[in-house]
Amino acid sequence: MRIKTSGRRRFSSGFRRYLVIIGFSSALATPAAFAVSIPVDLGPTGIVQGVRQVSVAAPNVSFEGENIILDFSFQNGEFIRFFTATTFFQTDIFFRINNAPIPQNFTGSGYLIDKNGNALGPSVGLQAFPVTNLVSEVGVDLLLRPLTTNSVPADAYGINLDLTLPDSPGFGFVNTPAPGAIVFDGNIYGIGPGVPANVVPDGGGTFALLTLGIGAVSVARFLSRLA
């Protein structure tokens, strides 16, 4: 009985050491998630209808299948204001890649950040589109169509991306020959500070007034010819 008990103890002790070694090795083999802060200058303030493109620095990371948090924070008190009239908005983030094999697989999700650093709306999935020279992948477009709260106007002070990188050692993001970029696109939105508190949808009144004005000018011209 003593021999059996002793044998079980030796096996149990050895097995525990084996599990510790396996767990430690797995921890070393699995890259830990980390956060990267990326400052963003939104440029001139005012109301934007359509596209606004700004330059950003790419994170200095290689592709080893790790998970990274990209925290894009708008600088100098800037923010993006979504009005009642804002019906469409998206961001397209472009990073250069050092000629990696095709394809490189990126997955992730993202959301907008409010003034207090909290999520402005729910997290939504990213779409990743490769940019190639037909031989290798030279960049990636990360498309995010974020959702805001139902309460508008609402202000976004940054973007949070939870991104899983490809497992392709030796390749990664680069900042040369030019930095990355973010393209904001929407039907109407504001770059603050110094923007209106809100912009409401045009119910057709402006068009009606414009039509009436054109008609009045035409009638005046016609009457002047008769005089």
Same domain membership, residue 59 and residue 119? yes
- Could you tell me if 126 and 108 are in contact, meaning their C-beta atoms sit under 8 angstroms apart? yes
Name the band, by pLDDT with cuts 50, 70 and 90, for residue 78: very high
Instruction: Please give the pLDDT value at position 89.
Output: 96
Q: If we measure between CA atoms, which residue out of 119, 111, 108 comes closest to residue 163?
A: 108
DSSP state of 83: P
Mean pLDDT confidence for 61-75: 96
Cβ atoms < 10 Å from Cβ of 184: 20
Same domain membership, residue 198 and residue 151? yes
What's the CATH code of the domain at 194? 2.60.120
Instruction: Please give the pLDDT value at position 210.
Output: 33
Same domain membership, residue 41 and residue 2? no
Give the structural domain span for 7: 1-30
Q: What is the pLDDT of residues 4-37, one digit of tens each?
A: 333 444 445 554 444 444 444 444 444 556 799 9
Same domain membership, residue 129 and residue 196? yes
Least confident of 45-54, 59-68, 104-113, 210-219: 210-219
Number of domains in the chain: 2
111 within some domain: yes
Q: What is the pLDDT of residues 162-216, one digit of tens each?
A: 999 999 999 999 987 788 999 999 999 999 999 999 999 986 443 333 333 333 3
213 within some domain: no
Same domain membership, residue 100 and residue 86? yes
61 within some domain: yes
Q: What is the pLDDT of residues 116-145, one digit of tens each?
A: 999 999 999 999 999 999 999 999 999 999
Same domain membership, residue 163 and residue 51? yes
Instruction: Please give the pLDDT value at position 3.
Output: 23
Q: What is the mean pLDDT of the chain?
A: 81
105 within some domain: yes
Return the residue matching tokens 């994170």: 59
Instruction: Please give the pLDDT value at position 32.
Output: 56
Same domain membership, residue 134 and residue 190? yes
132 within some domain: yes
Mean pLDDT confidence for 92-97: 97
222 within some domain: no
